[in-house]
Copies of this chain bind each other. A is one copy, B any other.
Amino acid sequence: MKTRQPQHPTEPTLWTNFKRQSIQEAVIQLMCREGLKSVTMERVAQEVGIAKGTIYLHYRDKQQLLDEVKESALAPLHARLHEILGGDNSPAEKLEICANRHLAYFDERKELFRILLYEREVARVQGGRYQSERYRRLVREVSRVIAEGIEEGALRTIDPEKAATLFVEGCVAMVNYRLLHDQGDSVDQDARMIANVFLRGVSAAEDLSPTFVARQKVRRK
């Protein structure tokens, strides 16, 4: 990274941070207004009102810029979720609050959802892995909460990581849905729905017995 040696211990960092912030905002604006293709260094600089070259004083290259945009766009959400999942509530409560916060976050900053989608695009390509480190951490934490719930006997025995994946993707799906269908349902309503469906789905109540699949097996291509 850029090791910086400010002449005045505090000010340059503030100023520097402000500029980095501005640049990142510009990337987000551009991404939302005109799509990923329009995010060129030129356009970003224009948007901020600085010269193209200046961006390179703050970011090694375009990739690093985009990475940091993604990073800092989602950091607050993940921090919040981390806090919730590490809190004192019951697993069930944690999950509902998580869903709630998730929906609320993107409700307040709708632009950021684009970043979420972008994250998948790059994550897929770059590391050969399909998900960002951040995403995996989230799933791991949810997973742990679910494991707690199982231990407590509130949830039935189920692969916690798979369940966590289902839950997280359910949240993302709902964010997406809310963005697309601008019906008036409140964040709370929808969060409760997710939590409800998921928690009943994994609750310790008796199993439904869907043995019907066996019958279908024959049909397989």
What are the residues of chain B within 8 A of A130 when measuring CB–CB? 117, 176, 179-180
* A172 nearest CB across to chain B (Å): 7
Stretch at the interface among A9-17, A19-27, A194-202: A194-202
A184 at the interface (CB under 8 A from B): no
Interface flags for A150-161 (1: CB within 8 Å of B; 0: not) read 000000001101
* A26 nearest CB across to chain B (Å): 14
A120 at the interface (CB under 8 A from B): yes
A49-B1, A93-B216, A162-B174 known; A205 and B200 CB under 8 Å?
yes
Interface residues of A in 67-101 (CB under 8 A from B): 80, 89-90, 92-93, 96-97, 100
A80-B221, A121-B36 known; A162 and B177 CB under 8 Å?
yes
A121 to B117, CA, bound (A): 7
Question: Which listed residue (B80, B121, B166, B195) contacts A121, Cβ 8 A?
Answer: B121
A114-B124, A117-B121, A165-B173 known; A207 and B196 CB under 8 Å?
yes
29 contacts between A and B (CB under 8 A): A1-B49, A35-B124, A35-B125, A36-B121, A36-B125, A90-B212, A92-B212, A93-B213, A93-B216, A96-B210, A114-B124, A117-B124, A117-B130, A121-B121, A130-B179, A158-B193, A161-B177, A161-B181, A162-B174, A162-B177, A166-B170, A168-B173, A169-B173, A169-B176, A170-B173, A196-B201, A196-B207, A197-B202, A199-B201
